[in-house]
Amino acid sequence: MSKHRIELRAAPHQHSGHSVPTIMRNVVYSLLPICGFSVWQYGLSALALLLTVTATCLATERLLNRNANTLGDWSAVITGVLLGLTLPPAFPLWMAIVAGFVAIAIGKAMFGGLGHNPFNPALVGRAFVQAAFPVAITTWVPAFSANRFSEFVPTTFTAPLMIPPDIVGWVKQQGVDAFTGATPLARWKFENVTASAHDLLTGAVTASAGETSALLILACGAYLAIRKFMDWRIPVAVLGSAALTAWAFQLVDPTHYPAPIFVMLSGGLMLGAIYMATDMATSPVTPVGVWIYGGIIGVMTVIIRYFGGLTEGVMYAILLGNALTPLIDRYTQPRVYGTGNKEQP
């Protein structure tokens, strides 16, 4: 026994086995089916977009953390993939590189890296390119065009700092029926036409690269929630409050406002609720705070969609929720055992 080299360690001597890379890696795994579906729908352009954005994010992360290699925590991959999924499939690659750089540099590294960013980095990147390139980010292409695996959309390889070419002619050549060039939310807003829930669930709509199929996103989110890599309360709160708000509006004026199910399934709400709002670093930690945070995002999404100049409001609603997170945490501290009104028998 005298040969034992015993070490002093402080309790607890066991650990759950979950680590930051495990969580992040599983989020990336759960995003892969969504990426696959996107590539299947939009072909080479979507693939090039996703790869470019992710590579830019990884390169930026590496470049700005020269003293420590932080790629191992996988968080930059999530930012890259998520950002790619929220961009239109035909988004010019040079603009995508700008988006990826801004997401990591301004959205994350500037604040001190993982865990210190107040805003979801992917949304910071998207907000930047939305403001910088308003036309490109609302230029949509049809899904399932015949030669999507053999040719790129002309806008993909726009020369850096150049305005992308007009693709109306190219779209006509594709011969995809019923393509209107507008998202379901835009069609509702400007033409008062609502897409069917079936189309929204299965992805038969015009949208950003990864936002088409609500059903697929829901399934991938369920995996994360069951494996406990995601806080299920946040998407429930976001979608629930959005549906409730939409329902209240519909009660007031059923001819003008759409059904709650349309609000829940259209646009980026599903992706936003499940993958963006749940970003751990930018959402509250307290049990009550989580519900308030989700509720605010849901309500704000509907209000921006109905009354704002934009057709989509998820991004700004989540960024607003991120901004409120420290405040929410501060005012929703949990009631400590043995204090407050439950202390007396």
Partner 1 sequence: MRLPFFNRTPTFDHGIHPVYHKETGHLPIRRFPFAPKLYVSLEQHIGKPAIAIVRVGQEVLRGEIIAKPDGLFSLPIHAPATGIVEALEPMPSDNGEMEMCIVIRVYEADTQEVQMRYPHDLEALRGRELALVMQEIGVAGKGGATFPTHAKLIPPAGKQIETIIVNGVECEPFLTCDHRLMLERANDVMTGIKYARRVCGAPHAIIAVEDNKMDAVAALEAALPADGSVSVKVVATKYPQGAAETLIKALLGREVPAGKRSSAVGVVMNNVMTLAYIGRLLPLGEGMTERVITIAGPSVERPGNYIVPIGTPLRYLLEYVGARSTANEIILGGPMMGTTIPSVDVPITKGVCGVLAFGKKDAVPPQIYPCIHCGECVNACPKQLNPTQLGMLAAKREYDVMAEQFMLGECFECGCCSYVCPSHIPLVQQFRVAKYFLKNREKVT
Q: Which residues bind partner 1 (CB under 8 A)?
A: 1-16, 18-20, 22-23, 73, 112-116, 231, 280-287, 290, 329, 333-339, 342-345
Least Å distance, CB 216 to partner 1, is 25
Looking up tokens 């998202």 gives 183
Nearer to partner 1, 52 or 322 (CB): 322
Tokens of 109: 């590294």
Looking up tokens 């930018």 gives 282
- Distance of CA 262 to CAs 146, 244, 273, 334, Å? 29, 12, 15, 35
Nearer to partner 1, 25 or 40 (CB): 25
Which long-range contacts does 253-262 make (Cβ < 8 Å, 24+ apart)? 256/192, 257/306, 258/188, 258/194, 259/194, 261/197, 262/184, 262/188, 262/194, 262/195, 262/197, 262/200
DSSP state, residue 154: T
Least Å distance, CB 24 to partner 1, is 9
Query: How far is Cα 307 from Cα 252, in angstroms, rounded to an integer?
Result: 15
Least Å distance, CB 219 to partner 1, is 22
Q: Is the dihedral of CA 254, 259, 262, 263 positive or negative?
A: positive
Nearer to partner 1, 284 or 313 (CB): 284
Give one DSSP letter per residue of 315-329, joined into a string: HHHHHHHHHHHHHHH
Nearer to partner 1, 7 or 253 (CB): 7
Least Å distance, CB 145 to partner 1, is 40
Nearest to 121, CA basis, from 131, 133, 111, 132: 111
Nearer to partner 1, 255 or 344 (CB): 344
- The answer to whether the peptide bond before residue 160 is cis (omega within 30 degrees of 0) is no
Least Å distance, CB 214 to partner 1, is 26
Least Å distance, CB 56 to partner 1, is 22
Nearest to 46, CA basis, from 126, 125, 183, 153: 153
Least Å distance, CB 22 to partner 1, is 7
Nearer to partner 1, 25 or 179 (CB): 25
Nearer to partner 1, 295 or 313 (CB): 295
